[in-house]
Amino acid sequence: MERTLSIIKPDGVAKGLTGEVIRRFESDNIKIAAIKMIHMTKVQAQGFYDVHKERPFFDSLTDFMSSGPAVVMVLEAENVIAKNRELMGATNYKEAAEGTIRKDFATDIEKNVVHGSDSPETAASEISYFFNQLEIISL
């Protein structure tokens, strides 16, 4: 069983897409092992996206991610990292496959509704940024 972090970004929450995103995960036999709504500060967003601090989009990304509530989740399933990334679609929603979350709902390369970890190592680090072990249920 594998775990990954998923975030419904502030644009997804503002558009009322939380239930739809969760429905898509559950329809693909992905279990939610932990979930909570947060509102990151700019400093918290900078800490989470620290790996991108030298990139030109860092300030706009962290401004956006601290602009409103987001839903953070720990997802669990066999090959969940790949499954989640397939459900999300390409980062650039214009290149995302039909029927993916980003193709259906994103409006911008940053405002692309969801975030998902890209590797087991990243998943472990990202999960621990938002959740302690007592908050995660093994399913």
Task: Reply yes or no on whether 39 is catalytic.
Answer: no
In this structure, are strands 70-77 and 114-116 parallel, antiparallel, or unpaired? unpaired
Model-wide pTM > 0.75: yes
Q: Measuring CA to CA, which residue among 35, 69, 65, 34 is closest to residue 47?
A: 65
Q: 71-123: per-residue pLDDT in tens?
A: 999 999 999 999 999 999 999 999 999 999 999 999 988 899 999 999 999 99
Q: How far apart are CA 75 and CA 117, in angstroms?
A: 10
84: nearest Cα among 9, 22, 135, 136: 22
The single residue of 3, 9, 83, 115 carrying the catalytic annotation is: 115
pLDDT digits (tens, 9 = 90+) for 21-55: 999 999 999 999 999 999 999 999 999 999 889 99
